Structure 1
Amino acid sequence: MFDLSSKHVLLTGASSGLGRHFARTLTRAGARVALCARGVEKLEVLATELRAEGGRCDVYSLDVRDRDRIRSTVEAVEAVAAINVLVNNAGIAIPKAPDKLTDEQWDTVYETNLRGPWVLAQEVIKRRLADKRSASIINIASVLGIRAIGHLAPYSAAKAGLINLGRDLCVDLAATGIRVNALAPGYFTTEMNDEWLQTPAGNRLRNRIPAKRFGEPAELDGALVFLASDASQYMNGNLITVDGGHTASL
């Protein structure tokens, strides 16, 4: 039931952070994964590693802020096989006080974290409605789409929007076999944030988490594979939060 050998996954933001880990998790579960990110050099290195383990993957250059590039990338991935799992993982945050945030910075965060996932979802939805096949769309949200810590207004707003985007799409699409769910990680240790998590501010944050530690990427594997697999066929429009009890402690 949790086997992904019949799944063709399009994964954005695959070159680093949680996305890089997700790529390995999905290929090890049997999926063929379209690795997507803006730069392909890191993707090629990752693809070589995954193939050495027996993983199936392909590399695509994709900027999720570019609608035309999204469309052409989806077409290229579909030429290999129909996409039946979409993982909208690409994301960016620009920490800024509200009075210092520029329109350009707001737009960059919004387009990456919400508009891009919407356009990708729409492209996949159109194709699966046309051929009457099922699909699972997994939006990687954040606990900051549920709560706020300040200085991240566009990021928090976009992640909250991403969660509710899935709910609305569920209402429209559940009867067609297309599922849209969100996975909201708390604070996880990756190469992108490890240095900050070791600072005094990071230590204060850790102490506010009931588990008294940050998560390890592997602790997201179960939820991710579950949502991608047929085991979650009756789950739609939902949010899975993996945060060590952080949001429960508010």
Structure 2
Amino acid sequence: MKAAALFDLSGETALVTGASSGLGARFAQVLAANGASVALVARRRERLKTLCEAIVANGGTAMAIEADVTDRAAMMRAFDDVQRAYGTPTIVVNNAGAAQSVRALEMSEEEWRRVLSLDLDSVFFWSQEAARRMIAGGAKGSIVNTASVLSFGVSKGVAAYAVAKAGVVQLTKALSLELAFKGVRVNAIAPGWFVTDINRNFLESDKGQAMKRAIPMGRFGAEGDLDGALLLLASKAGAYITGTTVVVDGGQVVALA
């Protein structure tokens, strides 16, 4: 089979959370460019609308759904809207998340709960609902979760985030084990440092530049560096891959080992 056919997503319905900017926006664009009908989910309506218009202008199919991923009722409405418009979602990318930079002794209970709710709890509940609908619809599907290099190593000030992202890796394994025989694959991507709106100021600071020098490839992730991993896990090319976390970090985790 030719590579183009392996990675072709024509006829697939994709849902991407955290799709209004950063990695999520790129994920939505890549899935649409390869043939999927894509539902973009996030809280920022205007950004979603702008991105949807750009995808459609480039020949893709996309819809915007305003939703907070920690709101279970909003989650159900989002899945219902996608199903009515495009059919059962067969690709779900759990990308919504929040960064955190508070030292452990200064962290409030509210901040701890906020990060865990957004970065871990929502991944479970959206995966759970996605799998239920795939199975009910008799559709084979792929769930792709966004983990992090901080799933495997920590630095100061990221306790909640690192715990949540380590949980995403274990959750990915646990769900894959229970869902494999039902035709639902569950995998994760663990990005290294990618410059986005959330971290741009920090990564462009002197401290950020020092971190870049410690990455074996000598640079931060660039736009497009995650495209291959996403397409592998979402498409027929990854038909026999489940329970795996693909690390895309320029060698950062290897250097930490």
Paired residue for 1:19?
24
After superposition, residues 16-95 of structure 1 pair within 5 angstroms as: 16-80=21-85, 81-95=87-101
Q: Is the Cα contact below 8 Å between 2:88 and 2:137 reproduced in 1? A: no
The two structures, once aligned, show a CA RMSD in angstroms of: 1.0
Structure 1's unaligned 5+ residue stretches are none
Q: Provide the residue aligned with 1:173 in structure 2.
A: 179
Partner in structure 2 of residue 156 of structure 1? 162
Q: 1:99 corresponds to which residue?
A: 105
Is the CA contact (8 Å cut-off) linking 2:40 and 2:48 kept in structure 1? yes
1:132: how far off? 2.5
The residue aligned with 1:134 is 140
Query: Secondary structure of 1:190's match?
Result: coil
Structure 2: runs of 5 or more not aligned: 1-5
Query: 1:31, CA displacement in angstroms?
Result: 1.0
Q: Do the aligned partners of 1:83 and 1:124 also contact (CA within 8 Å) in 2? A: yes
Q: Distance in 1 between matches of 2:89 and 2:26?
A: 20
Instruction: Please give the residue correspondences for 1:2-13 in structure 2 after superposition, counting only pairs within 5 Å.
Output: 2-13=7-18
- Identify which range, 215-224 or 193-202, moves more after superposition: 193-202
- 1:131 positional shift: 2.7
3-state secondary structure, aligned to 1:99: helix
Structure 1 length as normaliser, TM-score? 0.97
**Displacement after TM superposition at 1:38 (Å):** 0.8
- Counterparts of 2:159 and 2:22 in 1: how far apart (Å)? 22
Q: Give the aligned length.
A: 250
Q: Secondary structure at the match of 1:123?
A: helix
* Paired letter, 2:178: D
Give 1:119's match in structure 2, choosing from 125, 128, 139: 125
* Distance in 1 between residues matched to 2:198 and 2:125, nearest whole Å: 26
Partner Cα distance (2:129, 2:241) in 1? 22
Q: Secondary structure at 1:218's aligned position in 2?
A: coil
TM-score after normalising by structure 2: 0.95
Is the 1:95–1:152 Cα contact (8 Å) retained in structure 2? yes
Q: Deviations over 1:153-178 (max 9, x none)?
A: 11111111111111011111111110
